[in-house]
Structure 1
Amino acid sequence: MKKVYYIPLFVLCVLFFTRCGIYGFTGGDVGSAKTIQIDFFQNQAQLIEPGLGQDFTLALQDLFTRQTNLTLVSSNGELYFSGEITSYRIAPMSATSQQTSAQNRLTISVNVRYANTTDEKKNFEKSFSFYSDYPATSQLTGGVQEAAFTEIIDRITQDVFNASVGKW
């Protein structure tokens, strides 16, 4: 019988919090901004991986359009992201008893410039980096490469989101 009372109470609380603006379920604090511009992140690393810049740019655009109410524009965005991929490195991480590599690490770094025209105190230029480990017996191609890129790009784009509009 108590469950019957909890359901309407829960619905009222959800409506109250969303209507009063106390909490938004998007997870991002965009202030009064309505538009976002995310320029292409060109790959300027010493080792170039074709398509990486496009994959990163699209993932960042997708994250912001999914988790905020911002409209993606090609120019004059109130929130503006630009930058470049600065590093793409593959390095051995651990060795076997035969003195060969047992595991390799792919590390990608991205330099991000963020401008918020509605609150310029939030502007920044920062480097974000993440890695993915894979067995040395595997080549960084096909499914191994796709899984590594997905893991790294997801983490970096989430870090950029949190640094720019994340509330936590």
Structure 2
Amino acid sequence: MKYIKKRLFVLFIPMVLVCQSCWLYKFGTANIPPNMKTVSVGFFENVAPIVVPTLSQAFTEELKTRIRTQSELNILRENADGHFEGSITDFSYTNVAVTANEKANLVRLTITVKVKYTSTLDDEQSFEQTFSQFEQFSLDNGSIQSQERTIIPIVTKRLTEDIFNKAFANW
């Protein structure tokens, strides 16, 4: 009986420590300064060589959505505690794999965004950086044009996640 109690005690202590450490850190939690209450997001103009007419609006709205869903910040048009601005500088397709009859089969869509984030509360949190993300897809599933509507949102979600993490999660 003593052996069982001793063994349970040895197993119980590490479990308590592990559970307690999980309460100290929350995954996906933003590290936003407590005095920051507002942010503004400027329109991200598409200056890439290939211009998709809806990309600027879609990207700008996706960044606002990410901020709304992952923080308690209010989004203002101007005079905010933080401000995002920038442009879409590249939108390109690259052939990744070619079939035996020299036809492209796997294509990569890459989107690059130049972002300037300005914090009026803490200048050390401000940055200017280029972010780039891609998604590969097969032409077996349809043409590039037919797949654009599903591929672009995947890439913009990754980009906005990177931008949000850089500004608020110190990644």
Q: Which TM-score tier does this pair reach, normalised by the shorter chain?
A: 0.7 to 0.9
Higher-Rg structure is 2
Is structure 2 residue 109 aligned with structure 1 residue 106? Answer: yes
Is structure 2 residue 136 aligned with structure 1 residue 133? Answer: yes
**Partner letter of residue 135 of structure 1?**
S
Within a 5 Å distance, the mapping from 1:126-165 to structure 2 comes to 126-137=129-140, 138-142=142-146, 144-165=147-168
Give me the identity figure in percent.
Answer: 28
CA RMSD of aligned residues (A): 1.9
Write the distance in 2 (CA, Å) between the matches of 1:80 and 1:24.
26
Distance 1:25 1:56, change over 3 A: same
Describe the superposition over 1:83-109 as per-residue Cα deviations: whole angstroms up to 9, x where unpaired: 000001011111111122111111110
Counterpart secondary structure, 2:169: coil
**Partner letter of residue 155 of structure 1?**
R
Counterpart secondary structure, 1:99: coil
Is structure 2 residue 69 aligned with structure 1 residue 55? Answer: no
Gaps of 5+ in 1: 1-12
How far did residue 140 of structure 1 move? 2.0
Counterpart secondary structure, 2:30: coil
Within a 5 Å distance, the mapping from 1:1-168 to structure 2 comes to 27-31=29-33, 32-137=35-140, 138-142=142-146, 144-168=147-171
Write the distance in 2 (CA, Å) between the matches of 1:125 and 1:167.
14
Gaps of 5+ in 2: 1-19
Runs of 4+ in 1 over 3 A off after TM superposition: 22-26
- Structure ranking higher in helix proportion: 2
The two structures have a TM-score, normalised by structure 1, of 0.82
**Partner letter of residue 49 of structure 2?**
Q
Count of residues paired in the alignment: 149
